[in-house]
């Protein structure tokens, strides 16, 4: 009996051991991956106006004689910012205007024709030439009759004939001159004078444009951020520093630089939070309104030890809801929520793995205070 019990126990143990080995050898059923919320996209950025900073330089080189605005002043489009010395160009405009008036007067004289006294003079000259011709013709008739009977030498007869030919030519010239004075202007002559007028008008417009180039005007409504031109200084298109820097600050935006590992996740319409070291305790909100179509070199650094410096970045523009306390050029920290906005539905769960800067999720107060551009 004891042997049967031992045998049964051994069989049970062998079966249990086999079941355990079989269970361990099977591939465990994979559990479905848990859905993880994508982490916040962190980026560095700078505050801008509706437009970036606009650097203005005069298109004409010259000495500054007037600065019409001051830094911080709000200006309208077309408002005068500064003016260069324009004395020589004003004389150029006056000279070009006189040349245009001269060309117009020449055309008018051509259309009016000759003066009445000129017609009278030409008619009198024609009559005088007619008298000379008749006299020469009569002398030749007499000389030809006498020469027929050998009453005068050949030389005298030749002289009378030459005089008649000369008188005939002078009479034809006088008639032609009289006809020319009385004739209307030809179409080609009118075209020539019209071309002279167009050329003079173009020179006048060019002189006026060059005169206008001595005045630097605002290209849009905005605020003067910096003036780097003083009275008496030389300024022009080749100046090392712009004469005036301005931007439209009616609203504020943030230009953020998203690193290459996070750039594909950012979509238009996502919401963002913005904080600045210079404004502790303040937080601003906005939304992504524009994405750059290309990647570029990194332009902002936080100086954190784990920060990558060899990565590419994509520029993203964020329109702020409110930003009265912000200043153009202020460095800020940007946190974009990939779950927000209508475009966030396309985020894949496989993109939740921390990458690049996302390996360091630090609160704004713990971030490095120093930045460099």
In this structure, the answer to whether residues 178 and 228 fall within a common structural domain is no
Q: Edge-to-edge, what's the strand order for the sheet holding 74-75?
A: 54-56, 244-247, 222-227, 74-75
Judge whether 282 lies within some domain: yes
Judge whether 125 lies within some domain: yes
Name the phi and psi angles at 223, rounded to 5: -125, 135
pTM of the model: 0.63
In this structure, the answer to whether residues 115 and 260 fall within a common structural domain is no
Judge whether 11 lies within some domain: no
Judge whether 265 lies within some domain: yes
In this structure, the answer to whether residues 64 and 119 fall within a common structural domain is no
Judge whether 2 lies within some domain: no
Judge whether 126 lies within some domain: yes
Judge whether 15 lies within some domain: no
Domain end point (choices 209, 235, 267)? 209
Under the banding of pLDDT at 50, 70 and 90, the label for residue 278 is confident
pLDDT digits (tens, 9 = 90+) for 233-271: 999 999 999 999 999 988 899 999 999 888 999 999 999
pLDDT of residue 367: 41
In this structure, the answer to whether residues 111 and 192 fall within a common structural domain is yes
In this structure, the answer to whether residues 228 and 188 fall within a common structural domain is no
Domain end point (choices 155, 181, 209)? 209
CATH assignment at residue 77: 2.40.50.100
Q: Between 8 and 149, whose confidence is greater?
A: 149
Asked if 357 and 44 count as a contact pair (C-beta separation under 8 A), the reply is no
In this structure, the answer to whether residues 229 and 304 fall within a common structural domain is no
In this structure, the answer to whether residues 81 and 137 fall within a common structural domain is no
Domain count, the chain: 3
37 sits in which H/E element:
none
pLDDT of residue 289: 93
In this structure, the answer to whether residues 96 and 205 fall within a common structural domain is yes
Burial 160-182 (b: 16+ CB within 10 A, else e): bbebbeebeebbeebeebbeebe
> Three-class SS of residue 341?
coil
In this structure, the answer to whether residues 113 and 195 fall within a common structural domain is yes
pLDDT at residue 305 is higher than 90? no
Judge whether 373 lies within some domain: no
The range of the structural domain enclosing residue 137 comes to: 92-209
Domain end point (choices 245, 261, 289)? 245
pLDDT digits (tens, 9 = 90+) for 14-59: 767 777 776 666 555 555 555 555 688 999 999 999 888 999 999 9
């Amino acid at each position: 009996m004891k042997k049967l019990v031992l045998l049964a126990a051994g069989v049970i143990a062998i079966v249990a051991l086999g079941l355990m080995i079989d269970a361990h050898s099977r591939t465990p059923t994979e559990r479905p991956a848990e859905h993880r919320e994508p982490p916040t996209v962190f980026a560095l950025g700078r505050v801008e106006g509706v437009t970036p900073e606009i650097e203005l330089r005069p298109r004409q080189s010259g000495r500054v004689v007037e600065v019409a605005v001051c830094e911080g002043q709000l200006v309208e489009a077309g408002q005068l910012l500064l003016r260069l010395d324009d004395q020589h160009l004003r004389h150029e405009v006056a000279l070009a205007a006189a040349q245009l008036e001269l060309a117009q007067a020449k055309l008018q004289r051509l259309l009016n024709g000759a003066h009445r006294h000129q017609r009278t003079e030409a008619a009198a000259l024609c009559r005088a030439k007619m008298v000379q011709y008749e006299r020469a013709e009569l002398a030749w008739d007499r000389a030809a009759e006498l020469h027929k009977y050998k009453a005068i030498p050949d030389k005298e007869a030749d002289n009378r004939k030459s005089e008649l030919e000369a008188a005939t030519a002078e009479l034809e010239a006088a008639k032609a001159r009289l006809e020319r004075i009385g004739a209307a202007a030809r179409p080609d002559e009118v075209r020539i004078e019209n071309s002279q007028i167009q050329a003079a008008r173009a020179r006048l417009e060019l002189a006026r444009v060059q005169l206008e180039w001595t005045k630097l005007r605002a290209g849009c409504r905005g605020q003067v951020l910096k003036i780097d031109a003083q009275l008496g200084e030389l300024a022009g298109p080749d100046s090392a520093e712009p004469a005036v820097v301005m931007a439209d600050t009616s609203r504020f935006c943030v230009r953020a630089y998203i690193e290459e590992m996070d750039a594909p996740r950012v979509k238009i319409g996502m919401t963002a939070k913005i904080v600045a070291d210079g404004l502790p305790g303040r937080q601003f909100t906005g939304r992504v309104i524009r994405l750059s179509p290309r990647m570029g070199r990194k332009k902002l650094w936080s100086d954190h030890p784990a920060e990558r410096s060899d990565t590419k970045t994509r520029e993203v523009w964020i329109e702020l809801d409110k930003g009265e306390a912000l200043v153009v050029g202020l460095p800020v920290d940007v946190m974009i929520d990939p779950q927000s906005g209508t475009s966030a539905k396309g985020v894949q769960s496989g993109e939740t793995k921390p990458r690049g800067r996302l390996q360091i999720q630090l609160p704004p107060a713990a971030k490095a205070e120093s930045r460099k551009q």
